[in-house]
């Protein structure tokens, strides 16, 4: 994160972290609201992800409905074309969420994102949705954030 030196000296680590939070665009969270996104090893936006590493993606969100299930759908968008990205664990209830989810509660969804060595060097937009049902549910959250993948 580019933070002015003067500011670094006087601010607490918490504030600096907050300043360096992942920048994202909400892409239609319908039955939830995102309050923050953190990616391990990413202190700047766009995140630079290194091939051969696993990253933890944490999304803090508040529910606006109760649900028994939650499924994640992830896409890489390159030149306007979105390609589904298979997550090792698409079940949100197995991603740090205690299902059933209650309404009006704040949860931290936590997923592992493996960045395989065979990926090309690329800059793209990641779209991440957590839906309240498999194939065709409403979005508990949806965000888009730019990333770059390097060797």
Ligand X SMILES: *[C@@H]1O[C@H](CO)[C@@H](O)[C@H](O)[C@H]1NC(C)=O
Residues found near ligand X in the complex (CB under 6 A) = 38, 40, 52-54, 56, 58, 96, 104, 108, 110, 114
- The minimum distance between CB 52 and ligand X, in angstroms, equals 6
- Between 82 and 110, CB nearer to ligand X: 110
Cβ proximity to ligand X: between 57 and 142 the closer is: 57
Considering the complex, what minimum distance in angstroms separates the CB of residue 62 from ligand X?
A: 8
The Cα 80–Cα 34 span in angstroms is 24
DSSP string, 71-105: EEEEEEEETTEEEEE--S--BGGGTT--SSBPTT-
CB 80, min distance to ligand X, A:
30
Alpha carbon distance 35, 47 (integer Å)? 18
């Amino acid at each position: 994160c580019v933070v002015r030196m003067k500011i670094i000296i006087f601010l607490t680590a918490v504030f600096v972290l907050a300043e360096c939070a992942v920048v994202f665009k909400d892409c239609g969270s319908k039955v939830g609201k995102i309050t923050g996104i953190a990616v391990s090893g990413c202190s700047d936006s766009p995140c630079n992800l290194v091939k051969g590493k696993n990253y933890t993606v944490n999304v803090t969100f508040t529910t606006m409905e109760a649900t028994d299930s939650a499924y994640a759908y992830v896409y890489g968008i390159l030149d306007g074309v979105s390609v589904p990205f298979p997550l090792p664990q698409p079940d949100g209830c197995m991603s740090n969420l205690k299902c059933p989810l209650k309404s009006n509660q704040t949860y931290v969804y936590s997923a592992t994102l493996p960045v395989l060595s065979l990926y090309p060097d690329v800059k793209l937009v990641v779209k991440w949705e957590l839906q309240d049902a498999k194939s065709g549910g409403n979005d508990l959250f949806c965000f888009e954030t730019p990333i770059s993948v390097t060797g």
